Amino acid sequence: MDLEIKGKVAFVGGASSGLGEAVAKQLAEEGVSVFLCARGLEGLERVKRDINKCSQVDVFLLQADLSIPEDVQRVVQETLQKVDHIDILFNNTGGPPSGKFEDTSTEQWDSAYQLLLSSVVNLTKGFLPGMKKQKWGRVIFSTSVTVKQPADNLILSNSLRAAVTGLARTLANEVAAEGVTVNCVLPGYTMTPRIDYLAKRKAELEGITYEQAIEQWTSSIPMRRIGEPHEFAAMVAFLASMHAAYITGQSVAIDGGSVKSLY
């Protein structure tokens, strides 16, 4: 299927690895020029090399920590100095530390707020006006299946990603008539550096092995396997496409069927 987004421009957060890397590569395959943003320059350069081997699109690198408001303001300015507007915004950052409520400090709550909520608010504020002006845009938030089915020992992620979902659902109503769609994509257990970290923490907290932690997750998934980043990226690309013009305000799980809720 031709997604009909060749020539569009995307900003991809967390693009140096994991889900962000997969999304950047998928969009580039569709002919979308990409601004890659992450903290690690080495990872960004590697992803750019990979894209350049397979796609003839413009690739720009933006080294920044999106949990720092000044960095967000800077990358928005740098992006809009190079292009008139962004068509596709993939809001994505790393995850906060795992842990239980009573073990989580006020400082960790503040950091999680800056990482998960403040960052996407500021990025969206920066790029949304250009989308509204051209009457076309795609804002996509990467959250987690935990917004539908909270996971143990993830108090920070469960709480702040739910707030992002509320933001996205409300914003979708505000901009729908202006040709801008707003959706959330909810990854389940997916083979990324994040799941490696969470498996090690789960093993530590529960006194089990790393392999047992992975097996517990795998056994809870109807497909009996962990997801792959490219499977997640395919859904993001579809939501960014012309074909998804009538889909907005949704939270779409890519989880192998692991969420048991009806909605």
CA dihedral 168, 154, 12, 195 (to 10 degrees): -140
Report residue 255's pLDDT band, with 50, 70 and 90 as the boundaries: very high
Flag whether 119 is in a domain: yes
d(CA 164, CA 147): 9
**166, 234, 57, 62: CA torsion to nearest 10:** 40
Are 141 and 214 within one domain? Answer: no
Residues 98 and 67 in one domain: yes
In this structure, the answer to whether residues 154 and 196 fall within a common structural domain is no
pLDDT in tens, 92-143: 998 898 899 999 999 999 999 999 999 999 999 999 999 999 999 999 999 9
Confidence category of residue 30, pLDDT binned at 50, 70, 90: very high
Q: Are residues 170 and 86 in the same domain?
A: yes
The per-residue pLDDT for range 80-101, each reduced to its tens digit, is 999 999 999 999 998 898 899 9
pLDDT for position 39:
96
104 and 59, same domain (yes or no): yes
Do residues 34 and 28 lie in contact, with contact meaning Cβ atoms separated by under 8 Å? yes
Mean pLDDT taken over the chain: 95
For residue 27, pLDDT over 90 is answered with: yes
245 and 129 in one domain? yes
Least confident of 50-64, 201-215, 233-247: 201-215
Domain with 196 in it = 190-226
Tell whether 3 is covered by a domain.
no
Residue 101 lies in a domain: yes
Cβ contact 209:247 at 8 Å: no
**Are residues 134 and 206 both part of a single domain?**
no
Cα distance between residue 107 and residue 237, in whole Å: 35
30 located within any domain: yes
Percent of the chain with pLDDT over 70: 100
Co-location of 208 and 162 in the same domain: no
Q: Which residues of 218-253 are buried (b: 16+ CB within 10 A; e: fewer)?
A: eeebeeeebbebeebbebbbbbbbeebeebbebbeb
Q: Is position 258 within any domain?
A: no
Question: Is 118 found in the same domain as 133?
Answer: yes
Same domain for 207 and 114: no
Average pLDDT over residues 38-50: 97
Q: Is residue 129 assigned to a domain?
A: yes
In this prediction, residue 1 has a pLDDT band, given cuts at 50, 70 and 90, of confident
Residue 9, burial from CB neighbour count under 10 angstroms (0-12, 13-18, 19+): buried
The stretch 225-236 carries a mean pLDDT of 96
* CATH code (residue 140): 3.40.50.720
Regarding whether 221 and 128 lie in a shared domain, the answer is no
Residue 47, CB-side half-sphere exposure with 13 Å CA sphere: 34
Buried b (16+ CB within 10 A) or exposed e, 181-200: bbbbbbbbbbbbebbeebbe
Q: How many Cα atoms occupy the beta-carbon half-sphere of 157 within 13 Å? A: 25
**Does 130 reside within a domain?**
yes
The average pLDDT across 161-170 equals 98
Residue 4 lies in a domain: no
pLDDT score recorded for residue 141? 98
Let me know whether 221 and 234 are in one domain. no
Give the count of domains, the chain.
2
Nearest in space to 143 (alpha carbons), one of 90, 213, 200: 90
